[in-house]
């Protein structure tokens, strides 16, 4: 009786062990598949991500224009932006960043130069001295954009986000294949041979970098659901819509200056109003108006945790009267909105303040470097494990060995990555091409590319335009039925002072109450994202309508498609 019972218990124990081994082996297969099939892409994203954690500090060391000598008193952010605009009168400043979180960093604003290139203008926040300007794609910024988008048109963000989910799955399956992993935090790697050493080191580094792998996996998966599932595939959003920026009403605009063009208040007055209403607010970002009904947007924080400089309290100010129009405070956000705001500083390690900021970023840099090592070492270990067949072939013929090794690497199903090696290589080539385009865009922008709409009169002024499919797609057809196009509009400064609103539309407007889509942007960078109807032909027309502050209307039209006269294909 006892013997039979003992056999039954041993049998159940063996079955349970087999199930554990089966589950562990399945987890190993998933871990290997996830970690190997997109290894090259993963290495690029992880390596650039580790540097992206310290991209600002890297640029600070390289560019003199960014460095400030700390003094007791900072100048108001509004005064700084006014001085920058005065230093670059022909180029509208936008996206001003105060840098108050970083005492040794100069403040800066973004602008588009006369050739169409994107640049940053820097100003000392203590002395008010303009320090010059640098290209948008500085070394650090270049690495940061590469990490976020791979410079791949349309699919770059989605692909990077997908790798975040891949990292999370690799973490879970890696721990499942490593029973009682907590015992091995201080176990040195064996040194029997290179494969064994790298395998043990892979596990050891993986254990010590669990914190960063978990952070990157969760935040990347969060973004992966937003892009592409919510953005492109129609999945329901788990984040409630954020409040929309309030715009000035037609009645408010009409009451400003019935007989002429109203003057906007200096930015210094705008910021003074904000600081009077919110004395504890640290102003991080100022977004100037991009059209006549647009208010100033001031973004700041009051010591909240896990908030990036770019998101926080949003204060909107009437640019003509200086009165606060509305304010969206962090305390009024829903749980999911607040969680969404916390994802970016968690992912990039920008959530600390003061002296601890650099320490945290260095930890993230080390963590990202460790993750890069995990991807590389995993590939090497897998490659060495799969060389057994080649070693067997070596017993018969050295020539056969070389042929087998070559065939093993190039055949679609060969090597650790299998057929995915070609997908990796195609992506790497795409990244290289996209990088070249991005560098060109940084210096030249998209002016003069795509479809050129030649200069014509618009009332007493002239206007010209060009249409491109997108920043990284400027060589693609810009006008595609059912898609959006980016229309850049060039107007003289005197026209911008007199024009209240200017619109673009495919087809002649049926009424002046709805003349098209509003053209907006800073001086020298007016643009509009224009929807192209599903049905267009060579007779389709692009119409521009301008409305002055005095109520006058001016219109003109171009052939939407190239006709060799008014519209030229410059690709």
Among residues 333, 358, 379, the one where a domain terminates is: 333
Q: Order of strands across the sheet with 567-569?
A: 526-531, 484-490, 461-468, 451-458, 567-569
Residue 1 has pLDDT above 50, yes or no: no
Residues 127 and 224 in one domain: no
Mean local confidence (pLDDT), 467-474: 82
Residues 29 and 54 in one domain: yes
pLDDT tier for residue 192 given thresholds of 50, 70 and 90: confident
Say which residue the tokens 């659901």 belong to. 225
| Backbone torsion region of residue 314, taken as left when φ is above 0, otherwise alpha when ψ lies between -120 and 50, otherwise beta | beta
CA angle 451, 455, 459 (to 5 degrees): 130
| Distance between CA atoms of residues 525 and 90, nearest Å | 11
Residues 59 and 169 in one domain: yes
- Residue 486's CATH number: 2.60.40
Residues 179 and 131 in one domain: no
- Please report, for residues 197, 203, 571, the alpha-carbon distance to residue 368 in angstroms, rounded to integers and kept in the order given: 21, 16, 40
Ranking 23-27, 121-125, 375-379 by mean pLDDT, the lowest is: 23-27
User: Is 481 inside a domain boundary?
Assistant: yes
Residues 228 and 338 in one domain: yes
User: Is 30 inside a domain boundary?
Assistant: yes
408-458 pLDDT tens trace: 555 555 566 767 777 888 889 999 988 888 888 777 778 888 999 999 999
User: Is 189 inside a domain boundary?
Assistant: yes
Residue 11 has pLDDT above 70, yes or no: no
- Please report, for residues 177, 190, 209, 210, 358, the alpha-carbon distance to residue 185 in angstroms, rounded to integers and kept in the order given: 16, 14, 11, 11, 26
126-161 pLDDT tens trace: 999 999 999 999 999 999 999 999 998 779 999 999
| Distance between CA atoms of residues 256 and 261, nearest Å | 9
- Residue 302's CATH number: 3.10.450
Residue 72 has pLDDT above 80, yes or no: yes
Residues 313 and 369 in one domain: no
Residues 339 and 423 in one domain: yes
| Distance between CA atoms of residues 380 and 125, nearest Å | 50
| Distance between CA atoms of residues 78 and 76, nearest Å | 5
Beta strands in 113-207 (DSSP E): 118-123, 130-135
Q: Phi and psi at residue 192, in whole multiples of 5°?
A: -60, -45
Nearest to 351 by CA among 339, 362, 361: 361
User: Is 392 inside a domain boundary?
Assistant: no
Mean local confidence (pLDDT), 161-166: 96
Which pTM value belongs to this model? 0.88
Residues 40 and 142 in one domain: yes
User: Is 104 inside a domain boundary?
Assistant: yes
Residue 282 has pLDDT above 70, yes or no: yes
Say which residue the tokens 């065939």 belong to. 407
What confidence score (pLDDT) does residue 387 get?
A: 63
Residues 45 and 79 in one domain: no
Among residues 411, 445, 479, the one where a domain terminates is: 445
Encoded tokens for 398: 């050295």
Nearest to 488 by CA among 433, 544, 432, 541: 544
User: Is 6 inside a domain boundary?
Assistant: no
Mean local confidence (pLDDT), 214-242: 97
Q: Phi and psi at residue 554, in whole multiples of 5°?
A: -130, 140
Among residues 305, 333, 361, the one where a domain terminates is: 333
**174: buried, middle or exposed (CB in 10 Å: 19+, 13-18, 0-12)?**
buried
Number of domains in the chain: 4
User: Is 9 inside a domain boundary?
Assistant: no
Q: Which spans in 258-387 are helix H?
A: 267-277, 335-348, 356-385
Residues 555 and 491 in one domain: yes
319-363 pLDDT tens trace: 999 999 999 999 999 999 999 999 999 999 999 998 899 999 999
User: Is 435 inside a domain boundary?
Assistant: yes
| Distance between CA atoms of residues 278 and 302, nearest Å | 9
- Please report, for residues 84, 98, 563, the alpha-carbon distance to residue 123 in angstroms, rounded to integers and kept in the order given: 7, 9, 46
Residues 548 and 486 in one domain: yes
Residue 538: give the domain boundaries.
451-569
| Distance between CA atoms of residues 374 and 386, nearest Å | 18
Residues 471 and 565 in one domain: yes
């Amino acid at each position: 009786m006892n013997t039979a019972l003992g056999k039954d218990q041993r049998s159940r124990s063996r079955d349970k062990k087999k199930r554990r081994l089966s589950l562990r082996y399945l987890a190993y297969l998933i871990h290997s598949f996830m970690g190997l099939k997109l290894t090259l892409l993963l290495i690029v994203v992880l390596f650039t991500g580790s540097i992206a954690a310290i991209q600002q500090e890297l640029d600070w060391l390289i560019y003199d224009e960014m460095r400030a000598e700390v003094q007791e008193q900072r100048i108001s952010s509004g005064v700084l932006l006014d001085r920058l605009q005065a230093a670059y009168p022909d180029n509208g400043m936008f996206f001003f960043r105060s840098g108050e979180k970083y005492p040794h960093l100069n403040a800066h604003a973004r602008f588009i130069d006369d050739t169409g290139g994107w640049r940053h203008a820097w100003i000392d926040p203590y002395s008010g001295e303009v320090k010059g300007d640098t290209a948008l794609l500085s070394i650090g910024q270049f690495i940061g954009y590469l990490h976020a988008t791979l410079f791949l048109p349309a699919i770059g963000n989605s692909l990077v986000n997908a790798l975040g989910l891949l990292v999370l799955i690799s973490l879970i399956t890696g721990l499942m294949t490593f029973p009682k992993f907590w015992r091995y935090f201080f176990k040195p790697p064996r040194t029997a041979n290179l494969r064994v050493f790298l395998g043990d080191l892979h596990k050891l580094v993986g254990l010590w970098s669990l914190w960063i792998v978990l952070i990157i996996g969760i935040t990347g998966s969060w973004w992966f659901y937003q892009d592409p599932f919510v953005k492109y595939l129609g999945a329901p959003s788990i984040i409630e819509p954020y409040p929309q920026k309030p715009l000035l009403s037609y009645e408010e605009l009409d009451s400003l200056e019935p007989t002429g063009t109203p003057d906007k208040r200096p930015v210094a007055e705008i910021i003074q109003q904000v600081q009077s209403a919110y004395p504890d607010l640290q102003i991080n970002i100022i977004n100037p108006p991009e059209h006549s009904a647009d208010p100033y947007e001031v973004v700041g924080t009051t010591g909240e945790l896990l908030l990036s400089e770019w998101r926080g309290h949003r204060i909107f100010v009437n640019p003509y009267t200086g009165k606060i129009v509305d304010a969206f405070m962090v305390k009024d956000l829903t749980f999911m909105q607040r969680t969404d705001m916390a994802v970016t500083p968690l992912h990039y390690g920008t959530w600390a303040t003061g002296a601890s900021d650099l320490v945290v970023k260095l930890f993230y840099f080390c963590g990202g470097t460790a993750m890069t090592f995990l991807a590389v070492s995993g590939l090497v270990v897998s490659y060495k494990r799969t060389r057994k067949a080649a070693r067997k072939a070596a017993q018969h013929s050295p020539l056969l060995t070389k042929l087998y090794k070559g065939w093993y690497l190039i055949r679609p199903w060969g090597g650790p990555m299998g057929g995915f090696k070609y997908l990796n290589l195609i992506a790497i080539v795409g990244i290289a091409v996209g990088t070249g385009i991005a560098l060109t865009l940084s210096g030249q922008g998209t002016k003069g590319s795509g479809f050129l709409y030649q200069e014509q009169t618009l009332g007493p002024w002239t206007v010209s335009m060009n249409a491109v499919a997108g920043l990284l797609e400027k060589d693609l057809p810009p006008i595609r039925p059912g898609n959006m196009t980016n229309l850049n509009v060039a107007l003289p400064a005197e026209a911008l002072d007199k024009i209240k609103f200017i619109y673009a539309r495919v087809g002649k407007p049926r009424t002046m109450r709805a003349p098209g889509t509003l053209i907006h942007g800073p001086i020298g960078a007016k643009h509009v994202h224009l929807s192209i109807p599903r049905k267009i032909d060579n007779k389709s027309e692009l119409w521009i309508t301008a409305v002055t502050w005095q109520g006058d209307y001016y219109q003109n039209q171009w052939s939407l498609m190239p006709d060799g006269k008014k519209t030229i294909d410059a690709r």
